[in-house]
């Protein structure tokens, strides 16, 4: 039985390789779009799609799929009514995207009254890895696949601010304690006990350490490793920098109810200034020139794939 299952999996992965390094980019279905309202957004979308496709063809087309399929699809949420696959990139509008998916699937009537805990811990939405091989394969081939990304350094600083500058009963004891213990000289007992007060420079030392005292986390993992953009041929590439326009255009493309708009509220710490280029600059000042370069190198592939300008 096991050998039969292995053969089936290998055969499926063979097909997966062929499908997800396609010879031609699949055109977006724009049959529901009327008039010129979305002309500029659509133009930007086509440029992003072509850029990523060209990048993957140049750098990735001959690479074999070495990663287990379940891992490749583990970050992808499924909305069956409107045939959407959404790959979650934390700190790039993912909380509000999950709210929208809940509304689209009939789990909620409005995105505005779904709590943070319901979004992240409610287990309401299905992920692609919960389906069998046939279900995965069918959806990858027929659903509209989307990913929303963000400038890598902005995303990194946003994650640090969210997880380490506010009380957090997971990130402080799990990551904070390990980071302070390894990278802070003469750390006091309180800091070692609580893991609170991690400095950005210490966080970057952890990030760049090949022998990290604690593993990676999805909030600062590279998008190339979260969503595999050169294996899964995404139909729509949204950016956090143009989140409202991109998201609302995508909703029209997939036939979402006309009254549904992408919410623009900040999910948590709403009184904090949003992480922007100026905020990032202040944090990067805390690093040495070498640390800044190595951090950029860490996200180099994300910068390249999504055509972001180096800071």
Q: Is the pLDDT of residue 253 over 80?
A: yes
pLDDT at 18: 47
Q: What percent of the chain has pLDDT over 90?
A: 68
* Model pLDDT, residue 91: 95
Residue 34 is predicted with a pLDDT of 85
- Residues with Cβ within 8 Å of 141's Cβ and at least 6 positions away in sequence, in order, are 19
pTM of the model: 0.89
Q: Which residues pair with 85 in a beta bridge?
A: 78, 145
pLDDT one-digit tens code per residue, 194-247: 999 999 999 999 999 999 999 999 999 999 999 999 888 899 999 999 999 999
- Mean pLDDT is lowest, of 57-61, 168-172, 270-274, 290-294, for 57-61
Angle between helices 243-253 and 94-104 (to 10 degrees): 20
Quick check: 64 pLDDT over 70? no
Counting residues of the chain whose pLDDT is more than 70, the rounded percentage is 87
Q: How far apart are alpha carbons 93 and 238 in whole angstroms?
A: 10
- pLDDT given at position 62: 45
Predicted confidence at residue 183, as pLDDT, reads: 97
Distance (Å, rounded) from C-alpha 311 to C-alpha 303?
A: 10
Backbone angles phi, psi at 237, to 5 degrees: -115, 105
Six-digit token string for 233 = 């041929």
Residue 97: closest CA among 81, 83, 78, 80: 78
Q: Are β-strands 126-127 and 76-79 bridged in parallel, bridged antiparallel, or unpaired?
A: antiparallel
Tell me the sheet residues that pair with 50: none
pLDDT at position 38:
94
Give pLDDT tens digits for 123-166.
Answer: 789 999 999 989 998 999 999 999 999 999 999 999 999 999 99
189 — pLDDT class (breaks 50, 70, 90): very high
Find the range with the poorest average confidence among 28-37, 231-240, 246-255: 28-37
- Residues contacting 201, CB < 8 A, separation 6+: 286, 287, 291
- What is the tens place of the pLDDT at every residue in 277-304? 999 999 999 999 999 999 999 999 999 9
Average pLDDT value for the chain? 88
Contact by Cβ (8 Å): 160, 200 = yes
Hey, which bits of the chain come out as E strands?
Answer: 76-79, 84-87, 126-127, 144-149, 236-239
| pLDDT over threshold 50, residue 248 | yes
Phi-psi category of residue 166: left, alpha or beta, with phi > 0 → left and psi -120 to 50 → alpha:
beta
- For residue 115, is pLDDT > 80? no
């Amino acid at each position: 039985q096991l050998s039969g299952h292995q053969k089936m999996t290998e055969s499926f992965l063979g097909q997966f390789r062929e499908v997800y390094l396609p010879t031609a980019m699949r055109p977006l279905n724009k049959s529901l779009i009327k008039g010129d309202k979305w002309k500029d957004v659509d133009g930007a979308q086509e440029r992003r799609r072509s850029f990523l496709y060209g990048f993957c063809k140049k750098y990735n087309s001959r690479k074999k799929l070495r990663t287990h399929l379940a891992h490749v699809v583990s970050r992808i949420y499924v909305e069956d009514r409107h045939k959407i696959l959404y790959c979650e990139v934390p700190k790039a509008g993912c909380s509000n995207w999950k709210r929208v998916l809940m509304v689209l699937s009939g789990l909620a009537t409005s995105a505005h009254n779904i709590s943070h805990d319901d979004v992240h811990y409610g287990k309401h939405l299905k992920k692609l890895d919960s389906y069998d091989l046939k279900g995965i394969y069918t959806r990858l081939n027929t659903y509209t696949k989307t990913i929303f990304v963000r400038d890598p350094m902005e995303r990194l600083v946003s994650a640090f601010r969210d997880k380490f500058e506010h009380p957090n009963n997971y990130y402080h004891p799990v990551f904070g304690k390990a980071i302070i213990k390894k990278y802070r000289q003469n750390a006091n007992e309180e800091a070692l006990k609580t893991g609170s007060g991690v400095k950005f420079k210490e966080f970057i030392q952890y990030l760049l350490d090949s022998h990290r005292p604690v593993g990676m986390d999805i909030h600062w993992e590279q998008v190339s490793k979260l969503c595999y953009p050169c294996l899964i041929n995404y139909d729509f590439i949204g950016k956090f920098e143009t989140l409202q326009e991109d998201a609302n255009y995508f909703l029209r493309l997939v036939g979402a109810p006309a009254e549904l708009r992408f919410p623009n509220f900040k999910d948590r710490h709403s009184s904090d200034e949003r992480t922007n280029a100026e905020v990032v600059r202040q944090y990067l000042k805390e690093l040495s020139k070498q640390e800044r370069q190595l951090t950029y190198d860490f996200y180099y592939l994300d910068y390249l794939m999504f055509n972001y300008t180096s800071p």
